[in-house]
Amino acid sequence: MKYGGGIKIFSGNSNRSIAKKIASFLQVPLGNAEVKTFSDGEISVSINEPVRGANCFVVQSTCPPVNDNLMELLIMIDAMKRASAANITAVIPYFGYARQDRKSHTGDPISAKLVADLLTAAGATRVLTMDLHSPQIQGFFDIPIDNLFGLTAFEPLIKDKIKSNNQNYVVVSPDIGSSARAKTFSSKLGVSLAIVDKSRQYPNISKAVNVIGDVKGKHVILVDDIVDTSGTLCHAAKAVIENGGAIDVIACVTHTILSGQALKNIQDSYISKIYTLDTIPIAKDGLLDKFAAASGASLFAEAINALKGEK
């Protein structure tokens, strides 16, 4: 069914692959926009087709290089506002700065709130994103924001896996912070839930302590929104195997950053497979056989289709 009429889909440079997939689902061409960088590092944007009165959707993940990609998005929104677009939705598959959502110490910024203000000031009329690290970030916005549940894309795959293997599975949250996400997923799958108690000594450095719940003799599905250095996932996998007595471990993670020694950590871990989405582009070179990629494009396309008539 063709349902893309009345909207325009544009893309920055951070994640053109998912933007093309979204446009394909909506059966509309990807908008004609040129985003380039001057020799001094400044970003230049040209919207090369009329957008007056249009419902525009700008697809841009604010993944590394975070600041460059964020500026691209802000300038594209500003360009469309000045070209008299009726509505401008920032479609942000991965929302950078979401982990800076509170003051932990005196003098700390709340960078997630700053990014929300910048998007609004640039001219965005709505934000569409997926698996915000902290759901309360939605309260930072003075414009509507829709936060999609990324694990929905994994649900058919994991249900088939459970059915075909006829095994005893359990969904495990690698820390307390992801427990709500894991609980929702376990309910959708119809399996039990467990939580790994984690302590974090420093940013990007964590250690699993113990397992809350029964994982003994079970197949574990670790669920998280982000794998960055992979410490949280790898420590959780170790805890459920060595302390909890689980049989094996797979993981479902929405956003795959893979910084530092992440790939080596995963290679050396108990995790047998990580299912991830394409909210962040992943270079194929050097990726482990442990990774299996799915796409969140259809979820974004469905959301855009639902929003296209809103003013």
Q: What is the pLDDT of residues 259-272, one digit of tens each?
A: 999 999 999 999 99
**Catalytic residue selected from 8, 21, 161, 198:** 198
Q: Does domain 155-293 have CATH number 3.40.50.2020?
A: yes
For position 287, what pLDDT does the model report?
Answer: 72
For position 2, what pLDDT does the model report?
Answer: 43
CA dihedral 155, 159, 160, 164 (to 10 degrees): 160
Query: Is the pLDDT reported for residue 285 higher than 90?
Result: no
State the distance between the two ends of the chain, measured CA to CA, in whole angstroms.
Answer: 23
Q: How confident is the model at residue 253 (pLDDT cuts 50, 70, 90)?
A: very high
Residue 284 annotated among the catalytic residues of the structure: no
Query: Is the pLDDT reported for residue 4 higher than 50?
Result: no
> In this structure, how many other beta carbons lie within 10 angstroms of the beta carbon of residue 4?
20
Query: Is the pLDDT reported for residue 209 higher than 90?
Result: no
Kindly state the average pLDDT of the residues 24-42. 96
Q: Which of helix, strand or coil describes residue 206? A: strand
Query: Is the pLDDT reported for residue 102 higher than 50?
Result: yes
Q: Which of helix, strand or coil describes residue 265? A: helix
Query: Is the pLDDT reported for residue 205 higher than 50?
Result: yes
Q: How confident is the model at residue 6 (pLDDT cuts 50, 70, 90)?
A: confident
> In this structure, how many other beta carbons lie within 10 angstroms of the beta carbon of residue 101?
18
Q: Does domain 7-148+298-307 have CATH number 3.90.420.10?
A: no
Out of 49-53, 61-65, 95-99, 200-204, which region has the weakest mean confidence (pLDDT)?
200-204
Domains of the chain, by residue range, sit at 7-148+298-307, 155-293
Predicted TM-score (pTM) of the model is 0.92
Out of 100-104, 141-145, 298-302, which region has the weakest mean confidence (pLDDT)?
100-104
Question: What tokens appear for 23 in the block?
Answer: 């446009």
Task: Give the burial class of 79: count Cβ atoms within 10 A of its Cβ; 0-12 exposed, 13-18 middle, 19 or more buried.
Answer: buried
Inter-residue contact 56 to 87 (CB < 8 Å): yes
Kindly state the average pLDDT of the residues 137-151. 97
Q: Which residues are CB-contacts of 285 (< 8 A; sequence separation ≥ 6)?
A: none
Kindly state the average pLDDT of the residues 217-225. 96
Query: Is the pLDDT reported for residue 230 higher than 50?
Result: yes
